[in-house]
Structure formats: structure tokens, C-alpha cells
Amino acid sequence: MSDKNKGLNKAREIYLDSSRRAKELKAADKKIIGYPCVYVPVEMLTALDLVPYRTCADMKEPVTEADRALPHSFCPVMRNCLDCALKGKNDFLDGMVAIHSCDPQEKTARIWESYTHYPYFHFIDMPITVRPEALEYFKGQLNDFRKTLEAFTGKKLSADKLEAAIKSHNQQRALVRELYELTKSSPPHVSGTEIVQVVKALTSLPVAEGNNLLTETIGEVKKRAARPEKKSARLLIWSSTLDDTDIMQVFEAKANVVMNESCGGVRAYRGEVKLTADRLEGLADYYLNEITCARTFRQAALGETRKDYGRDLQSRFGYLKGAIKDWKINGVVMLLVRYCDPFAFEIPSLKDYLNSIGVPSTYIEYDYTTGALAPMRTRVEAFIETISQ
């Protein structure tokens, strides 16, 4: 990586070859641990001097090897992730941590463990509610994770090391939020495409390097004279994942995407981990309660026996209202990857919630292939025409 590449250029370089830095670190005797989902508590890896590396799908990679392990009518993102692993694209990893964020990931993790032979593999079972007993169970799962990490590394995960790691990752979350503040203006200081490159780069770097990249990027963006072109539509995209610039550019051809509400955008960075006396309790609380993914059921009131639909919608989607107001968003795209049941089940209710606060929205489904981009473009252009009149 060239020292001359600062900020956005460096992020783009890492985005285009995300494994290169991990391979350099492995050559320097660092251990690289893959994880496919933002629900994995990466602070625990950082605290033990392990390098977290997110194993993302590659939309441009034709799925061939995964066909012998998974059916076609299955989450295309997880199929693609497994396909890349079976082709040896992740052979530099020293281990893998998967988590039950959804049933397709759980099933894929079992196959992943059977078909690959990393020195370390761990699966975290995660509850789907935010009830107190669910939090206690999840904390127990993280304690089991701690034990296997300690056995693998031969090191003790001390409270001091975990506290330092939590602070570093909280700093990263704060910096990502600061970067998103720069999309509030009209036109925004930074494009949605550029933020996709930055966020994806972060997931393939040690946290300290990622924080330096963010600091450079924010400083550069604040000073540059040339901004993205101002468009009539200011969009929020709600999705399971949006971490590919080809997809983002479909939207930004006609609109400014000022909020990427997915695990390739702001979702994993909106809050921060509290430094509780029991560090694992703070981590469990953050990952279970603060990351707003469709896979988690949030009751409007604990123990309720009669459903109040309005209160239910507020408990599930109320966090969007402030962003829509503060970022002056005039359209929401509900972008669904085919066969993603958790997000598919949420779409009718999310549509109702957006209608209740007077925000236009549209629903687009695609199959996570480059062939889906052309019809997606037509749908996007039609939606933007309706909200720009």
C-alpha cells in the first residue's frame, strides 16, 4: 500500500484488494480470524492481538463450488461467501467465527466448518429477542467464545486488554458517525459510494489502522473543494447488506445516498459499547440491543399480551425517524437480497411505518448478481421520478 495514497484513495485501494493487507500481516506472524457478520464481537479478537477480517461476498464471482453444498433457493450472499472459501480465496485465514444472525448463516457455518480446515473455528449462538434472559444467555455464549480464544492463543483475555480494545472500536464507531455527518449537507461532502469503500476497508484492517484511515479520510473530505453533484433525491437505503460500489452507483447515478442503513454502512457503528464492570456484559448488551437488524424481535413492551401495531412499529423502526429528519431524506429504498427471509418479513411493516411518517418508499428485490443491476436501475429511476416531481 503506497504511503502517498491518503484517505479516500487509500480506502479505494483496500476496497479493491481487501485481502492484501491481511496477507501482509499474516506474513509478519499475525493471526487472521475471519467473520462473516457484524454481530461477531471483534473487540474480543483485537484484545488477544488477533486481526479480525470480514469475509464478504463478491457479486462478480460466479457461484460454482457452493452448488455442491447449498441449494440455489438459498441466501445468495452466504452461497457466495461459501463459494469463495471453497475456491481457496480465504486460505490465509487462521480461523473463522460465525454467529447465528440468521438461519442461512447458521447452516452455512456448519458446512464451512466441514469443508474447510482452519486451525480455529467457533460458532456463537445468538438469541433473537432482547429480553433480559436472552441477554444473560448471550453473555454466556460470549464467555464460551472467550474460553476457546484463550485456548487457541495461549493468552488470557484480561479485563484491561478488553477495555482497551473496546475503547479503540468505540473510537472507530465515533469516526464512522462523524463521516456520515458529512453527508448532511446539500450536496453532501462525501458520496455513498466513497463511504462503502471506506467501511469495507475498515473490516479488513486492524482497528488502529482503520482509525488512522478514517481520520485521514475525514480530514481530506472536510477540506476538498469538489463535492459530489447535488441531486434532487436524498435517499436512505435499508437493506441486509450493501457493500458493493456497483450497486451503490446504480442509486447515485440519479440520487445522493446520504444514509446506508445496512451492515455495509452505518448499522454496526451507530452506538457504542458501554464499559460495564463485567466487560462481556457490555459487549453482549451492545451486540444484542444496539445493532438494529431485522433478525432481532423487539417487543414494544416486555410481557405484552395484546399487540399495539403502532407502538410495535415504533419499537422496531423508530430509530429511522431521526435520521430521516436530520439528513433531510425524501425517499427510502427497501433493498432485499432474494431469499433473505428476516428482512423480507419486515418490509410490509416498514412500509407502514414510513407511510405513517410521510416518507415515500419503494421495494426492490435482486439476486446478488451483476445481471440484476440493469433492472434495478430501471426501478430506481422510476422511483426517483416520482419523488422529484
Considering the domain architecture, whether residues 208 and 333 belong to the same structural domain is answered as yes
In a domain, 146, yes or no: yes
In a domain, 98, yes or no: yes
In a domain, 67, yes or no: yes
Considering the domain architecture, whether residues 144 and 281 belong to the same structural domain is answered as no
Domain stop point among 158, 182, 200: 158
- Cα–Cα distance for residue pair 326/259, rounded to 1 Å: 11
Looking at residue 3, its pLDDT comes to: 47
Considering the domain architecture, whether residues 212 and 124 belong to the same structural domain is answered as no
Looking at residue 301, its pLDDT comes to: 74
Considering the domain architecture, whether residues 224 and 138 belong to the same structural domain is answered as no
372 phi-psi bin (left φ>0, alpha ψ -120 to 50, beta other): alpha
Looking at residue 303, its pLDDT comes to: 66
Considering the domain architecture, whether residues 371 and 228 belong to the same structural domain is answered as yes
Domain stop point among 158, 189, 224: 158
Under a CB-based contact definition with an 8 Å cutoff, are residues 255 and 384 in contact?
yes
CATH classification at residue 83: 3.40.50.11890
Domain stop point among 134, 158, 182: 158
Looking at residue 304, its pLDDT comes to: 67
Burial class (CB in 10 A: 0-12, 13-18, 19+), 183: buried
CATH classification at residue 354: 3.40.50.11900
Considering the domain architecture, whether residues 126 and 264 belong to the same structural domain is answered as no
Considering the domain architecture, whether residues 69 and 95 belong to the same structural domain is answered as yes
In a domain, 42, yes or no: yes
In a domain, 354, yes or no: yes
In a domain, 89, yes or no: yes
Considering the domain architecture, whether residues 182 and 154 belong to the same structural domain is answered as no
Considering the domain architecture, whether residues 249 and 286 belong to the same structural domain is answered as yes
Considering the domain architecture, whether residues 252 and 297 belong to the same structural domain is answered as yes
Looking at residue 2, its pLDDT comes to: 43
The number of domains in the chain is 2
Tens digit of pLDDT for each residue in 51-60?
Answer: 999 999 999 9
In a domain, 276, yes or no: yes
Indicate the pTM of the whole model. 0.95
CA-CA-CA-CA torsion for 78, 345, 139, 50, nearest 10 degrees?
A: 30
> Which domain does 40 fall in, by range?
20-158
Considering the domain architecture, whether residues 141 and 184 belong to the same structural domain is answered as no
Looking at residue 297, its pLDDT comes to: 86
Tens digit of pLDDT for each residue in 291-336?
Answer: 999 999 887 776 666 778 888 899 999 999 999 999 999 999 999 9
Considering the domain architecture, whether residues 265 and 368 belong to the same structural domain is answered as yes
In a domain, 62, yes or no: yes
The residues of the chain scoring below 70 in pLDDT are 1-5, 302-305, 389
